Amino acid sequence: MIETPYLLFLGDAPDPLAAKVAQGIRDWRPENCVGQFRLDGCKADLGLPDMDLAAAKAAGAKTLVIGVANRGGKISQTWKKVLVEALEEGFDLASGLHNLLRDEPDLKAVAEATGRALHDVRVPEVDYPIADGKKRTGKRVLAVGTDCSVGKMYTTLALDKAMRDRGMKSTFRATGQTGILITGDGVPLDAVVADFMAGSIEWLTPDNDPDHWDVIEGQGSLFHVSFSGVTLALIHGGQPDALILCHEPTRTHMRGLPDYGLPSLEEVRDLSMSLAKVANPGCQVVGVSINTQHMGEAEAVRYCEEVEARLGLPTVDPFRHGADRLAEALAAL
Amino acid sequence: MIETPYLLFLGDAPDPLAAKVAQGIRDWRPENCVGQFRLDGCKADLGLPDMDLAAAKAAGAKTLVIGVANRGGKISQTWKKVLVEALEEGFDLASGLHNLLRDEPDLKAVAEATGRALHDVRVPEVDYPIADGKKRTGKRVLAVGTDCSVGKMYTTLALDKAMRDRGMKSTFRATGQTGILITGDGVPLDAVVADFMAGSIEWLTPDNDPDHWDVIEGQGSLFHVSFSGVTLALIHGGQPDALILCHEPTRTHMRGLPDYGLPSLEEVRDLSMSLAKVANPGCQVVGVSINTQHMGEAEAVRYCEEVEARLGLPTVDPFRHGADRLAEALAAL
């Protein structure tokens, strides 16, 4: 669990896209952000107050979050001065970079000397149990996709927000590093040891109020041969009551697998349901989320209408149209 | 890769069952066993020559394998004297115990001083790649089960032997600790990090001769919610050409999951095929292996006949009837 609120470190980001983790935190948890810290030459701007460490400390910030990716995932020497100072000023550090904070001897030494925490969100910090499959109280919805990176995190964050805006009880449950940095908690599922994958998702989505929804971020795809086992652990560990199908219509092959075409939404629906019913016989598919970022407005609307008619399920692009109709479908369950 | 041949350490096994790992090595790779080492009070006997370290060394043994499980998986102090001496005499050590050889400071120190290897087969020793899904040459058969522990390892070991006895090119590919100790190589799949599961199976079953079969040990079950993700990684990483269905008919619920009934063989067939075709559209189910250890002879034969008629597939208990008919089915593909 990462302590909030955050000061978002944008470093010397060469463009806004390099700061997309920070942007995600800013978009989805603005209440967790007291300000941004930028080095000379930074080309990203989240529209938050620029603060130095002292000002952020005074504003209540607890953790400096590295919200920027640089080439090679490295922790650059130009950042080190700020990171060491932050530890000395009493901040924890959090990072989703491939190279770990804890593997930097200087950061490790200063963190130990000052008693501050280094959160590398790519690495599990919990000893997860083996899944026991017991039925849990409360409700759960999971995003499943035709492919990796089709918008499952965005869909579930938007759905969680729409549900809370309607007064429903909802908690976004992060299963990837960006989601964990956004909310300060979650399971880095792709780094969990095989035997404990499903158990980690049971741990993440425990017993809850009967009318509470865990909105579980999906990972991978049952049809993506590199990561399908991770997806199935989410389906069986999450024992979802509801599934949302996610799709990006312009993709010509599975991400990273040029020889593999995408499955149809119907195939994803049928295979996901066959597997989901093992853990929860009452599971239903309640809606479809289409990532239309590569389509014009008219084409996007037409595509969603076509899918809605074909599958008989509310179909939206949550970025263009909001996630209200998906929240409504869950409220009606 | 563990160096063979072995001296099998049975320690102070309280009964033959405690030495079942050693028994498996003895049964399936007798050519890897020069002898057995027993302490006073040992109640197990593999029928191999009893040897001390010097005799085994003279007979060519390279590795002392701990082929016995004691209570709690611990490495007992009564064993330590032998293990330390073995390292000093030039043996490597291999173990599948929960407690690791490398975590014993004395063993670690002596192994370093003598330059010998400590093989803890529960822990991956390779940096596996992420699966790329590319079609590989050669053929692969995978065992899939209605549940965990229904006889998938036994089935694949027996099938591999039957195939080699017929003159077919076949390699058993171990995916669990006992299988790894038996053959000296393999992937401890349940201990692999999620992102690399399917890649580890691609690594284990690389390009081969067109008429060569990898006989892949199965793990878990698509219907076992604790471990189903591991099973799917085998199906997608192994890209099998053929599946063998494995079942234990007297089981009343899924192993460790009292609220979960077993699926039918038809359900396992259909769901496994839907998933297998993603990685290999030509995959076929070629036979059924029934574990009839809790049935009388007449009942066992009747049950296999009934399944054979129902599914239209050769159905045997490889322990009672041999695996020839399964090997024949693969030869006919």
CATH code for the domain in which residue A15 is found: 3.40.50.720
CA terminus-to-terminus distance, chain A: 32
What residues of chain A, 212 to 241, have a C-beta less than 8 Å from chain B? 222-223, 225-233, 236-237, 239
Q: How far is B86 from chain A (nearest CA, A)?
A: 32
Q: Are B293 and B320 in contact (CB under 8 A)?
A: no
Q: Per the domain annotation, does B266 fall within a domain?
A: yes
Q: How far is A83 from chain B (nearest CA, A)?
A: 29
The verdict on A203 touching B (C-beta cutoff 8 Å) is: no
pLDDT of residue A70: 73
Q: If you average pLDDT over residues A183-187, what whole number do you get?
A: 95
pLDDT classification of B72: cutoffs 50, 70, 90: low
Q: Per the domain annotation, does B132 fall within a domain?
A: no
Q: Of A134, A223, A230, which is closest to B278 when you measure between CB atoms? A: A223
Average pLDDT of every residue of chain B: 96
Same domain, A165 and A66: no
The verdict on A256 touching B (C-beta cutoff 8 Å) is: yes
Same domain, B74 and B173: no
As beta bridge partners, residue A9 has A37, A66
Interface test with A, best of B127, B227, B280, B283 (most A CBs within 10 A): B227
Q: Of A191, A193, A228, which is closest to B232 when you measure between CB atoms? A: A228
The verdict on A98 touching B (C-beta cutoff 8 Å) is: no
CB contact under 8 A, A194 and B133: no
Q: If you average pLDDT over residues B30-57, what whole number do you get?
A: 97
pLDDT of residue A115: 97
Q: Of B134, B197, B225, which is closest to A198 when you measure between CB atoms? A: B225
CB contact under 8 A, B228 and A278: yes
CB contact under 8 A, B192 and A194: yes
For residue A192, pLDDT over 70 is answered with yes
Same domain, A249 and A151: yes
CB contact under 8 A, B226 and A271: no
pLDDT classification of A73: cutoffs 50, 70, 90: low
pLDDT of residue A181: 96
The verdict on B258 touching A (C-beta cutoff 8 Å) is: no
The verdict on B331 touching A (C-beta cutoff 8 Å) is: no
CB contact under 8 A, A274 and B278: no
CB contact under 8 A, B226 and A194: no
Q: How many domains does chain A have?
A: 2
pLDDT tens for residues B250-308?
Answer: 999 999 999 999 999 999 999 999 999 999 999 999 999 999 999 999 999 999 999 99
Same domain, A174 and A249: yes
For residue A328, pLDDT over 90 is answered with yes
Chain A residue at shortest CA distance from B231: A229
> Omega of the bond prior to B5 within 30 degrees of 0, cis?
yes
Q: What percent of chain B has pLDDT over 70?
A: 99
CB contact under 8 A, B194 and A192: yes
Q: Which of A246, A251, A253, A328 is nearest to A290 (CA)?
A: A246
Same domain, B166 and B250: yes
Q: Which of B106, B104, B125, B107 is nearest to B116 (CA)?
A: B107
Same domain, A57 and A159: no
Q: What is the pTM of this model?
A: 0.95
CB contact under 8 A, A133 and B229: no
pLDDT of residue A77: 84
The verdict on B142 touching A (C-beta cutoff 8 Å) is: no
The verdict on A189 touching B (C-beta cutoff 8 Å) is: yes
pLDDT tens for residues A298-307?
Answer: 999 999 999 9
C-alpha to C-alpha distances, A107 to A94, A96, A100, nearest whole angstrom: 12, 15, 10
CB contact under 8 A, A228 and B236: yes
Q: Of B189, B225, B254, which is closest to A194 when you measure between CB atoms? A: B189
Domain with A285, as residue range(s), is 139-332
Residues of chain A in contact with residue B127, where contact means CB-CB under 8 angstroms, are none
pLDDT of residue B15: 92
pLDDT of residue B326: 98
Q: Per the domain annotation, does B236 fall within a domain?
A: yes
Q: If you average pLDDT over residues A174-192, what whole number do you get?
A: 96
For residue A168, what is the domain's CATH number? Answer: 3.40.50.300
Q: If you average pLDDT over residues B69-91, what whole number do you get?
A: 88
CB contact under 8 A, B198 and A226: yes
Q: Per the domain annotation, does A213 fall within a domain?
A: yes
Same domain, A240 and A303: yes
pLDDT classification of B78: cutoffs 50, 70, 90: confident
Q: How far is B232 from chain A (nearest CA, A)?
A: 5
Same domain, A196 and A99: no
Q: If you average pLDDT over residues B9-28, what whole number do you get?
A: 93
Q: Please enumerate in sequence order all residues whose Cβ is within 8 A of that of A86, keeping only pairs 6 or more positions apart, or say none.
A: A7, A53, A64, A93
Same domain, B104 and B168: no
CB contact under 8 A, A198 and B222: no
Same domain, B100 and B208: no
Q: Per the domain annotation, does B126 fall within a domain?
A: no
The verdict on B17 touching A (C-beta cutoff 8 Å) is: no
pLDDT of residue B77: 84
Looking at residue B128, its amino acid is Y
Q: If you average pLDDT over residues B203-221, what whole number do you get?
A: 98
Model ipTM value = 0.95
Residues of chain B in contact with residue A132, where contact means CB-CB under 8 angstroms, are 226, 256-257
| Domain-terminating residue out of B59, B87, B120 | B120
pLDDT classification of B244: cutoffs 50, 70, 90: very high
Q: Per the domain annotation, does B133 fall within a domain?
A: no
Same domain, A13 and A43: yes
Q: What is the C-alpha separation between A190 and B289, in angstroms, rounded? A: 33
Residues of chain A in contact with residue B198, where contact means CB-CB under 8 angstroms, are 225-229
Residues of chain A in contact with residue B133, where contact means CB-CB under 8 angstroms, are 225-226, 254, 257, 259-260
For residue B74, pLDDT over 80 is answered with no
pLDDT tens for residues B134-167?
Answer: 999 999 999 999 999 999 999 999 999 999 999 9
Residue B290 φ then ψ, to 5°? -110, 130
Q: Please enumerate in sequence order all residues whose Cβ is within 8 A of that of B205, keeping only pairs 6 or more positions apart, or say none.
A: B136, B138, B140, B173, B214, B216, B237, B238
- Cβ contacts below 8 Å, chain A against chain B, sum to 133
For residue A241, pLDDT over 90 is answered with yes
Helices A105-114 and A77-88 pack at an angle, to 10 degrees, of 10
If you ran DSSP here, which 8-state letter would residue A195 be given?
G
pLDDT of residue A78: 86
Q: If you average pLDDT over residues A31-47, what whole number do you get?
A: 96
CB contact under 8 A, B195 and A191: yes
The verdict on A264 touching B (C-beta cutoff 8 Å) is: no
For residue B79, pLDDT over 80 is answered with yes
Q: If you average pLDDT over residues B30-45, what whole number do you get?
A: 96
Tokens 């190589």 identify what position?
B185
Q: What is the C-alpha separation between A153 and A176, in angstroms, rounded? A: 9
Average pLDDT of every residue of chain A: 96
CB contact under 8 A, B194 and A230: yes
Q: Per the domain annotation, does A126 fall within a domain?
A: no
pLDDT of residue B70: 73
The verdict on B201 touching A (C-beta cutoff 8 Å) is: no
For residue A277, pLDDT over 70 is answered with yes
pLDDT classification of A72: cutoffs 50, 70, 90: low
Residues of chain A in contact with residue B142, where contact means CB-CB under 8 angstroms, are none
pLDDT of residue B73: 66
Q: Which of B282, B203, B279 is nearest to A225 (CA)?
A: B279
Q: Per the domain annotation, does A133 fall within a domain?
A: no
Same domain, B144 and B23: no
